[in-house]
Amino acid sequence: MTARYDLAIVGSGFSGALLGMIARRLGLSVVMIEKGRHPRVVIGESSTPLTNLMLEEISDRYDLPSVRPLSKWGTWQRAHPEIGCGLKRGFTFYHHDLENPRHRSPERSEQLLVAASPHDEISDTHWFRADFDHFLVQQAQKLGVEYLEETAVTGFSESSEGVTVDGTRHGCAVSISAKFLVDASGPRGFLHCALGLSELELPGFPATQALYSHFEGVGKLQDLYPMPDGESPYPVDDAAVHHVFDGGWIWMLQFNNGVTSAGVAATDAFAEKYRFGGGTDAWRHILSRIPALESQFASARAVRPFTRIPRLAFRSGQIAGSRWALLPSAAGFVDPLLSIGFPLTLLGVSRLAEIFAKCWDSPRFEASLRDYAAQTEADLLATARLIGALYANMSNFSVFVSLTLLYFAAVSYSEAARRLGKPHLAPSFLLRDHPDFGPACRCLLEQARQPLTGEESRVFSEEILQVIEPFNVADLGNPARRNWYPVDPEDLLRSASKLDATESEVMALLQRCGFQLQ
């Protein structure tokens, strides 16, 4: 089989499918090549407010009405109850000392609950990727994307006309030519191998591994760490639940189809100590050091074999050429902590979409791609600085909490600015380019990589509060909250001036977004 297209996309996860749909809306002919077949299980499931805002923006800008309902729990449940989904009202963290297992619920100082939405209707979600990605691929096909699954492509060549990929499908040779190729095949994916691209270090980031599976029969944390009714900012299980300890952390995401996604990401030293190579045994060993988790998993069963990723972080030595580009998810990865993979990937989808819309066939195309590569790399490095500092403080939870406030302040400010139609206030991911926030944040993250004494930790946390203050639209760090942060519209209203907005603009925004105001 030989065919020619404007755009070839390798990989049919949500990013490849979305970009394919957008490219069709822009009038390009598109082929999407997948080595596996849908529905297939992949990991990376938890969304965030910024992720969902970007999904909304993409679906509105490129007229993709089938995508929009997936940006919130309520609309998703009404439009597509058949697509597995988890309710994510916020980020739940508990701190543990595995050397001294504790049978009672952690103190408030060992907890962090950050709500992301005020009620279920407009809540974030966990995407059950087998269903979610399958649905998007079907939508892409409906828009005219040519989809070739079970296709193994290995060869890649470039000419003045474009690119050609060669491979086999069901035993037959396949040769596909396109003007441009986007690699959406994930870390160490298609072009990494075909072009022999180098792999670079993520400066300051430790070597980490992961071990994970999907489970059935997992209990509820609420039954083990009971929260007084209505007191916590949201039901603790309706969240991305993080259990943090020296050297690593465990994630737990519960879906509405009875499946729970759970796994551990940790440094090499931790992985060696707990023998990650042993799969189930390693998992059981770690759970035995956290009694509540052990009880939660007492009747659970893994529904698929454990997967071990021996090297989690990745950074490609090159992100774009003149006729190809890696999506951010193929260009690099840091860690699942704080669910940053989706927003970075969607940022890349939006940036490439804009280049296709404005510069396709124009002399500016190559320069835009160079800019795309630079932005993608800068986002990745900013993420690695943040998560690296968090890893360095997994045994110093008060500093860990303060560091997360840098993230929560930057993303909640960015979301509010974009929703107010003022994206210029927050043009870069994690405000990394902001003239005040960017350098100050970088300096703090550098400092946090060294061990801090008790007094140094206190001073450090104070400094973080000062840095986030001009961007803090969620009352983060208020000691009266004692590490529990609900979504309170009053906080945003009080912060209107930080967003160059009036109270009535903020009020209108809250109403548009589905807040139930008094």
Applying CB under 6 A, the residues found at the interface with ligand FAD are 10-16, 33-36, 42-46, 153, 184-186, 189-190, 210, 212, 263, 327, 329, 336, 339-342, 345
Q: Report the nearest approach of ligand FAD to the CB of residue 148 (Å).
A: 9
Which residue number, 312 or 399, has a Cβ lying nearer to ligand FAD?
Answer: 312
Which residue number, 6 or 183, has a Cβ lying nearer to ligand FAD?
Answer: 183
Q: Report the nearest approach of ligand FAD to the CB of residue 398 (Å).
A: 25
Q: Report the nearest approach of ligand FAD to the CB of residue 99 (Å).
A: 25
SS3 at position 382? helix
Own/partner pairs, 471-479, CB within 8 angstroms, 24+ separation: 471/409, 471/410, 471/413, 471/431, 471/437, 471/498, 472/409, 472/413, 472/498, 473/409, 473/412, 473/413, 473/416, 473/498, 473/499, 474/408, 474/409, 474/412, 476/405, 476/408, 476/409, 476/412, 477/402, 477/405
Which residue number, 20 or 263, has a Cβ lying nearer to ligand FAD?
Answer: 263
Which residue number, 54 or 499, has a Cβ lying nearer to ligand FAD?
Answer: 54
Burial level of 80, CB count in 10 A (0-12/13-18/19+)? middle
Closest residue to ligand FAD in the complex (CB):
44
Helix (H), strand (E) at residue 307: strand 307-309
Q: Report the nearest approach of ligand FAD to the CB of residue 244 (Å).
A: 15
Q: Report the nearest approach of ligand FAD to the CB of residue 48 (Å).
A: 7
Please choose, from the candidates 31, 19, 49, the residue with its C-alpha nearest in 3D space to the C-alpha of residue 327: 19
Burial level of 183, CB count in 10 A (0-12/13-18/19+)? buried
Which residue number, 143 or 509, has a Cβ lying nearer to ligand FAD?
Answer: 143
Q: Report the nearest approach of ligand FAD to the CB of residue 261 (Å).
A: 8
Which residue number, 205 or 460, has a Cβ lying nearer to ligand FAD?
Answer: 205
Which residue number, 210 or 389, has a Cβ lying nearer to ligand FAD?
Answer: 210
Residue 383: CB atoms within 10 A of its CB come to: 28
CA distances from residue 138 to 3, 13, 16, 211 in whole angstroms, order as listed:
21, 12, 12, 31
Helix (H), strand (E) at residue 511: helix 503-512
Residue 103: CB atoms within 10 A of its CB come to: 8
Q: Report the nearest approach of ligand FAD to the CB of residue 278 (Å).
A: 18
